[in-house]
């Protein structure tokens, strides 16, 4: 039996090269503030994989994506084990674009901080008097650069995203930037409306895209998971303060309140975080 080792290991995912495709494996690791924590969240990788598969299927009419399947029987024998079951997705190979595609539907996180300081979010001026976690007049596309592990992504304006893409793809930068913005906003609007009908507010999210062999823009990485998005319960939502969440904001809050925890979470936080991830998936896929 052939042995495989990851060709790339990110904060959460490990990638294996299968020759004609890639296998993306979602581990139970969790990261916050660009640091991988010392604990794992039991079952998290399987929830992330199921959720991405759900959204990839829902958004195929808006943009093609890289998912080929999640059946281990289509994979080499090395991967047919309990560890890989449910957390593995076979994907098309793409040339990933150097832009993080962020969309914000509500005023939260770094966007709220920026608004309080300057009345803007990523250089975009907003009306005065907005409250923390308030729904924005319209969803904002706020791209960022992709940083290496251990460094922070840098927010950029739309014009700079054109320049970044033009530098790598001469003559195509403006086209690719436009497509990324249009597809990101279209995906967010469709999925946020769906989630709202199932009791979840998607406050913001991050998407990544790549190019296939013909140069077409294809959705890659993950989509609308608690790792890449802010999920809030609709029940009890009220602007003007922070919201309870289904995502890893609970972990971020613990780390901010316990700066000397040495990147280690107590069992209570681990269990509650795992429960939040499962609950979000169950709400979204119910019915």
The separation between the first and the last C-alpha atoms of the chain, rounded to the nearest angstrom, is 42
Candidates 233, 226, 278, 275; CA nearest to 252 is 226
pLDDT at 151: 56
Statement: residue 149 has pLDDT above 80: no
Candidates 279, 225, 273; CA nearest to 48 is 225
Global pTM reads 0.91
User: Binning pLDDT at 50, 70 and 90, where does residue 14 land?
Assistant: very high
pLDDT at 231: 94
Calpha distance 129→279 (Å, rounded): 34
Calpha distance 94→139 (Å, rounded): 28
Region for residue 140 given its phi and psi (left: phi exceeds 0; alpha: psi -120 to 50; beta: otherwise): beta
Q: What are the domain boundaries of the chain?
A: 95-253
Q: What is the pLDDT of residues 162-182, one digit of tens each?
A: 999 999 999 999 999 999 999
Residue identified by tokens 């150097």 is 98
Residue identified by tokens 């084990």 is 81
Calpha distance 66→97 (Å, rounded): 14
CATH topology of domain 95-253: D-amino Acid Aminotransferase; Chain A, domain 1 (3.30.470)
């Amino acid at each position: 039996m052939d042995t495989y080792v990851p060709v790339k290991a990110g904060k959460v995912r490990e990638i294996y090269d299968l020759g004609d495709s890639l296998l993306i494996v979602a581990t139970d690791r969790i990261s916050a503030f660009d640091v991988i924590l010392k604990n794992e969240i039991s079952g998290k990788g399987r929830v992330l994989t199921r959720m991405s598969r759900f959204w990839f299927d829902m958004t195929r009419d808006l943009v093609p994506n890289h998912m080929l399947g999640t059946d281990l029987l289509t994979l080499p024998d090395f991967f047919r084990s309990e560890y890989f079951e449910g957390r593995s997705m076979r994907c098309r190979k793409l040339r990933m674009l150097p832009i993080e595609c962020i969309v914000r539907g509500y005023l939260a996180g770094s966007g709220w901080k920026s608004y309080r300081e300057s009345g803007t979010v990523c250089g975009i001026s907003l009306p005065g008097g907005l409250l923390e976690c308030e729904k924005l007049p319209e969803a904002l596309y706020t791209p960022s650069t992709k940083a290496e592990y251990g460094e922070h992504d840098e927010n950029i304006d739309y014009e700079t995203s054109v320049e970044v893409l033009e530098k790598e793809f001469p003559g195509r930068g403006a086209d690719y930037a436009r497509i990324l913005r249009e597809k990101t906003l279209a995906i967010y609007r469709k999925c946020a409306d769906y989630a709202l009908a199932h009791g979840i507010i998607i406050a913001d999210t991050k998407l990544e895209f790549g190019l296939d062999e013909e140069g077409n823009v294809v959705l890659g990485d993950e989509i609308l998971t608690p790792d890449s998005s802010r999920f809030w319960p609709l029940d009890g939502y009220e602007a003007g303060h922070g919201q309870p969440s289904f995502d890893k904001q609970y972990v971020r809050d613990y780390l901010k309140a316990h700066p000397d925890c040495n990147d280690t979470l107590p069992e209570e936080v681990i269990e509650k975080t795992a429960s939040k991830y499962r609950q979000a998936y169950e709400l979204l896929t119910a019915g």
